[in-house]
Amino acid sequence: YEIKECDWSSDVCSSDLSAKDKKVHAINASGTTPKLATIDWYRRNADGKIPVSDGLLCGTVPGVPAACYTLLDRWGTMSFADVSGAGIELAEKGFPVSEYFCEFFAQHGYKLRKRPLSDRIYYPQGRELRAGEMLRNPDLAATMRAMADRKSTRLNSSHIPLSRMPS
């Protein structure tokens, strides 16, 4: 089982043939709505409509972490700590950004500038990162480390302090 073409903050669907039982298994880890995003809340606060925008009111809780836990629980031979170690290190120590990254952010970065935590990560000197400069995300590293330290693979947002949740 391998998750491809997704990032930590997205959703994932996976269907794979198990060598052990010769069956196809499907995982739908589409994001769920946040706990407080009820129909009543939207009726009271948004005229009963879910906004279509880049804002938090139309977002979901990312499904990738749940998919990782599910796949590791059912078919994995390694722990979440084992498979996430390199990602934790990259988030903590950083990596040099590419020219493509810089071009992408020049076009789409204005969305991140709206969020103080994202602004702090992606614009650490108050400006766009330049090719070769290091991108670090210590909050993401702390969140992933907290997840890796858990004994249980059952996870929900109450297990991680909100101050550490990446924006």
E strand or H helix at 96: strand 95-96
Distance CA 29, CA 65 (A): 9
pTM > 0.75: yes or no: no
Say how far residue 30 (Cα) sits from the centre of its chain.
12
What per-residue confidence (pLDDT) applies to 91? 94
SS3 call for 26: strand
Q: Is 137 exposed, middle or buried (0-12, 13-18, 19+ CB in 10 A)?
A: buried
- Type of residue numbered 75: W
Q: Could you list the pLDDT tens digit for every one of the 167 residues in the chain?
A: 444 555 666 677 777 777 788 888 888 877 777 777 888 988 998 888 887 776 667 777 777 787 888 888 888 888 889 989 999 999 999 999 999 999 988 888 888 788 788 888 888 888 889 999 999 999 889 988 988 887 555 545 444 433 333 43
Instruction: Using alpha carbons, select from 83, 70, 78, 91 the residue that is nearest to residue 153.
Output: 70
Instruction: Using alpha carbons, select from 68, 75, 93 the residue that is nearest to residue 150.
Output: 68
E strand or H helix at 17: strand 12-17
